[in-house]
Amino acid sequence: EAQVTQNPRYLITVTGKKLTVTCSQNMNHEYMSWYRQDPGLGLRQIYYSMNVEVTDKGDVPEGYKVSRKEKRNFPLILESPSPNQTSLYFCASRGLAGGPNRGGEQYFGPGTRLTVT
């Protein structure tokens, strides 16, 4: 089954304690992305990656890091989490656009609910 998986699904942590949220896709997609969802703001892009070792900032990258060492994995790292990073996080992936896939959808993971106290 084609899917994007995220772990953990729920995480409660304390300020300053480094954490990693994993994301993996089994569709051989080149493009992967992280979003955060906050009430009244919708989803906002944090970081994205066009392929292995190619990453770039989205709209709200402060306080986050990512890496793309393998095509299927795109972990999100919070080196020193703060309470303002309490949010719902989504990983998403897509294959390359072109031809009939030009308007194709992104596949979203199930979300990770993070609480930083």
Asked if residue 40 binds other proteins (CB under 8 A), the reply is yes
- Give me the least distance between CB of 92 and other proteins, in Å please: 8
Query: What Å distances lie between residue 51 and 29, 72, 83, 102, CA to CA?
Result: 8, 10, 31, 18
* Residue selected from 31, 34, 64, 74 as contacting other proteins according to rule CB under 8 A: 31
State which of positions 47-76 bind other proteins (CB under 8 A).
Answer: 48, 50, 58-59
Q: At 15, list the tokens.
A: 């300020």
What span, in angstroms and rounded, lies between the C-alpha atoms of 67 and 70? 9
58 or 63: CB nearest other proteins? 58
- Give me the least distance between CB of 108 and other proteins, in Å please: 4
Enumerate residues 6+ apart whose C-beta is below 8 A from 45.
Answer: 33, 34, 35, 58, 59, 60
User: Tokens 């979300």 sit at which residue?
Assistant: 111
User: Which residues contact other proteins by CB under 8 A?
Assistant: 31, 33, 35, 40-45, 48, 50, 58-59, 88, 90, 92, 94, 96-98, 102-103, 105-106, 108, 110-111, 113
